[in-house]
Chain A
């Protein structure tokens, strides 16, 4: 079964054509959380990196990223010191601090082919100053910066479709070989 990759515009326009031709179809949607170090601060575009500017600094895109101040990564439950190397320019594929994301995949099956559109939605950063206790922070606790990663709103992840278009959420797509066509 061929698999055709579309961008957002192509995918939506294909759905529109199918609606207009009164073709019956179903849209499948798969949303999975990933935290596999795919996205690190060194490779973020400047406008996105600015959101972390209170904690991180770098010379330019793809330069090594260091911590500006001690902070706790609340998502990964890890503490970083000041001037710690967070994402080395010599090792861009393996950041020491990574941004979690949702992998969103939309697909439709038509006449034996699968047409899909996929994207990754990065978690939103939030930087707070909180009083935390711990081995390094003492029993009484101290004020420290806390980096939180909040999942993006679901309505932003959705492709908005007219009523009547059914969207099924799926966990995985397993390819099945249709041997009946051999007989």
Chain B
């Protein structure tokens, strides 16, 4: 139901492994990734899909600290709140 989709982008101070585990728990699968350069930094941009919902996760590559992956969600309100709750806990 793409017309019921909402948009949200958050930056979180949690390890990428935790984000990935959370996405997998709610049924998202990684369908592709690419290396991008933005703001003079290298990022790994990954795309996750679950039916018509899509989430992209961008994480800076290298030894940067602190790491704050950017999660961009185009999905239902339920998905958005699940992810926000999931990365908080």
A and B: real partners? Answer: yes
Instruction: Give the B-binding residues of A (Cβ under 8 A).
Output: 7-9, 11-13, 15-16, 19, 39, 44-48, 101, 117-122, 124, 152-153, 155-157, 159-164
- Say yes or no: B62 contacts A47, CB within 8 Å: yes
Residues of B within 8 A of A19 (CB): 7
- A16, A48, A162, A163: the one contacting B35 at CB < 8 Å is A48
Majority-rule SS of A interface residues: mixed
Q: Using Cβ atoms and an 8 Å threshold, which residues of chain B touch A101?
A: 37
Asked whether A122 lies within 8 Å of B34 as measured between CB atoms, the reply is: yes
Which residues from B are CB-within-8-Å of A153?
Answer: 32, 34, 47
A160 and B72 in contact, given A16-B9, A48-B42 (Cβ under 8 angstroms): yes
The distance in angstroms between the C-alpha atoms of A163 and B39, with both chains bound, is: 29
Whole-angstrom distance between the alpha carbons of A47 and B11 in the complex?
Answer: 22
Q: Are B47 and A155 in contact (CB under 8 A)?
A: yes
**Interface residue tally on B, bucketed by range:** 20 to 34
A47 proximity list for chain B (CB < 8 A):
61-62
Tell whether, in the assembled complex, residue A39 and residue B72 are in contact, meaning their CB atoms are under 8 Å apart.
no
**CA gap between A160 and B58 in the complex, in Å:** 13
Assess whether A161 is in contact with B7, with CB atoms less than 8 Å apart: yes
Contact with A along B23-52 (1 / 0, CB 8 A): 000000001111111110011011100000
Interface centre among B10, B36, B55, B56, by most A CB within 10 Å? B36
Interface string of B1-21 (1 = CB under 8 A from A): 011011111110000000000
